[in-house]
A and B are shown apart, each in its own frame.
Chain A
Amino acid sequence: MLKIENLHVRIEDKPILKGISLHIKPGEVHAIMGPNGSGKSTLSHVLAGRDGYEVTEGTVIYKDKNLLDMPPEERAREGVFLAFQYPVEIPGVSNVYLLKAALNAVRKHHGLPELDAFDFLQMIKAKTKLVEMDEKFLYRAVNEGFSGGEKKRNEILQMAVLEPSLCILDETDSGLDIDALKIVSDGVNSLRSADRSFILVTHYQRLLDYIKPDHVHVLAQGRIVKSGDASLALELEERGYGWIDQTVGVAA
């Protein structure tokens, strides 16, 4: 699905990622954990194609294609989805309008016809149930006046509608209370499948209580300093990130 090799990224003159390598197979869930400033969000943004990052070295191959060559809209159409840490509010553009525009763009890319109005609405309404969202949210402006939890649920709704192959969740658990966390996690779990992979970027272990990862990687100072299975997350929870920083210090 995704092969990241020796990825170096900087913002202006400041190196942020200093040689990341990561292989993700179809159906796998990878958690990327690490302290603030370790480069977690940079990694998700670079994969989604956000401006302002300069890749100075390394490659990212997604489904046998060079991901870094694609503009962000093409990545999205090819099945890369980023659930934002801070979803943007867009006054005047309704949720249903964005979903329609996005879904049509993706379908067109794959040579599929537009869904007709009836089928589209049926499908969307079914998906709103998945994230326990009231249908009236469909007709509200994208994220405008939504609570933190509503915004994150809306991200998962978009994900459910677009049915991506690679889902990147950037700190989706931040700012969520336990009920919202559970709803979001249930939504994500229901989307897990043999041909869909996930990258969960998170600071805390608690998201992983609900979405069980196959692999856990610890990112610190722009490098993956430790990889393991789900038990690594528990260890981090117990010991904090302090010992990781020491490890990096020794390695450097």
Chain B
Amino acid sequence: MSATNYIERYQTLASSLSGQNLPWLNTLRQLALGSFSASGFPSPREEEWKYTNVTALEKKLFAPLSVSTPTTVDKEWLETHKLADTWSLVLVDGHFVPELSDLAGLPDEVIATGISAALENQPDRVKALFGTSVGTESHGFLAFNTAYFSDGAFIGIPAGVNLQKPIQILHVSTRNEALSNTRSLIGLSKNAEAKLFETFVGSPGISYLTAAVTEIHLSENADLDHYKLQVETDKAYHFGGVYVKQEKSSRFNQHNLTFGGLLARNEIHTELAMAAECEMNGLFLAKGRQHVDNHTLIHHIEPHGISRETYRGVLADRARGVFQGRIVVHPQAQKTIAEMNNRNLLLSEDAEIDAKPQLEILADDVKCSHGVAVGQLDPESIFYLVSRGVDRETAKNMLTFAFANEMVEKIGLESLRGRVQEHLLNLFPQTGIRRDWL
């Protein structure tokens, strides 16, 4: 196995990649290319990829679009994926499309644009953020992304600015067999506050590859709510990595909602400095032959940090889920509080979950806990509902919905919460019930 096909194919495009004139970026791209040539896409032999085999990708060849081609996106369809009352930044097949985005009224001092544009207009600001949150992490997908990313979002929020509306980054794929390979950089300066909502969608029925890396840098006392809603098509391959660096007393509140994709891998990694806090909430649902992998990593590198992580999975049919949650409390990180909880519901005999919590505690004065549970719907509960006249299918759906909805209730963004509930009710229909009865 190798990534030779990809490398041959992509080298022809190398000259059209953004930031050609920037030696620092060229160097990074060359290094990454070298690394990708040597390793290819991650293999299940790598510990962190043990449960997810992406070698199928090497046999396919998802083609990137070299330049932003005039887009033929169905605007009405696109609108259905936009959240009301937000600023939006739309990336179509890996390219920022200003005409489809809505950034009107954004405070002047806030930057929200495509990373290609930013590399032209303010390369130094990009350079300052690029690679700072990914740090020393590396695997085939990250190298692939660095070597070949076509565009992405670039958002900078200056010190003390509190954004009144969320910014939505809408990642859209519209072409069969296409690749969207994006790198987004988000920087919040001291005391800044924002809500960011990333959505991943594809035109109905198409097969494609999304490789999206989002780097987030939170300065001292900055506060970010980050929502990721992944509703790719059921033939899509999705790699989405979110890498966060949290300075002193910053707060990162993350919701990872993953429902789509044939094969999806979410990575959410953060590093907490002194008294930083993070919350990671995850809900993943998979059916048919979907495979969903959630890989989280929390580094407590300084004292007084707090992390709370709650993940729930629902797996039906022959679906397979993975939860790998790793927390590392470094020797200096005394007085750390870290909690991790993962519960999984298997709806069929053939569904499978690999749940692997890992706590590495190298400091002695900390409070850490973790719990993992895997179960099925409780027959007693089903009988209770059925004995009240509810049909068996609805009873099961009510219980499944309830299990998932406890995560949805945590979503602070009301409009998003409603959407996710709608989505869940479509997946688990309940006769005679409307949303107003929740």
Interface of A with B (CB < 8 Å)?
48-51, 71-73, 75-77, 81-82, 84, 87-88, 90-94, 96-98, 100-106, 108-109, 114, 117, 141, 158, 162
Contact = CB atoms under 8 A, between A and B. Distances in A.
Contacts of A92: 399, 401-403, 405-406
Contact of A88 (B384, B405, B433, B437): B384
B24 to A, nearest CB: 51
A105 B431 contact: yes
A50 B382 CA distance: 10
Q: B381, B403, B432: which has the most chain A beta carbons within 10 Å?
A: B432
B387 A76 contact: yes
A16 to B, nearest CB: 18
Nearest to A161: B388
Contacts of A106: 389
A48 to B, nearest CB: 5
B401 to A, nearest CB: 8
A117 B436 contact: yes
Given A90-B384, A105-B431, A77 B389 contact: yes
Contacts of A94: 438
Contacts of B387: 48-50, 72-73, 75-76, 81-82, 84
Contact of A102 (B378, B390, B399, B402): B390
Contact of A90 (B381, B394, B431, B436): B381
Contacts of A108: 432
B373 to A, nearest CB: 13
Given A51-B379, A91-B406, A97-B438, A162 B432 contact: no
B399 A73 contact: no
Nearest to A117: B436
Nearest to A94: B438
A81 B392 CA distance: 16
Contacts of B378: 88
A143 B396 CA distance: 18
17 contacts: A72-B386, A77-B389, A84-B387, A88-B380, A92-B399, A92-B402, A94-B438, A98-B385, A101-B388, A101-B431, A103-B389, A104-B431, A105-B390, A105-B391, A109-B389, A114-B432, A117-B436
Contacts of B401: 92
Contacts of A49: 386-387
Given A51-B383, A101-B432, 10 more contacts: A51-B379, A77-B389, A90-B399, A98-B388, A100-B437, A103-B389, A105-B390, A109-B389, A141-B402, A158-B388
A81 B386 CA distance: 11
A91 B345 CA distance: 14
Contacts, number: 97
Contacts of A114: 432
Best-surrounded residue of A82, A87, A102 (most CB of chain B within 10 A): A102
A73 B392 contact: yes
Contacts of B406: 91-92
A102 B388 contact: yes
Nearest to B388: A102
Nearest to B407: A92
A230 B431 CA distance: 44
A73 B384 contact: no
B298 interface: no
B384 A76 contact: no
Contact of B390 (A88, A101, A141): A101
A159 B389 CA distance: 12
A84 B384 contact: yes
B398 interface: yes
Interface string B387-428: 111111010001101110110000000000000000000000
Nearest to B380: A88
A163 B95 CA distance: 61
B430 interface: yes
Interface string B7-25: 0000000000000000000
A101 B383 contact: no
A50 B386 CA distance: 10
Contacts of A84: 384, 387
Contacts of B402: 90-93, 141
A101 B394 contact: yes
B127 to A, nearest CB: 47
A73 B390 contact: yes
A48 B430 CA distance: 22
A178 B402 CA distance: 34
Contacts of B388: 76, 98, 101-102, 105, 158, 162
B126 to A, nearest CB: 44
Contacts of B399: 90, 92-93
A101 B402 CA distance: 14
A80 to B, nearest CB: 9
A29 B380 CA distance: 28
Interface string B283-294: 000000000000
B51 to A, nearest CB: 28
Contacts of A104: 431-433
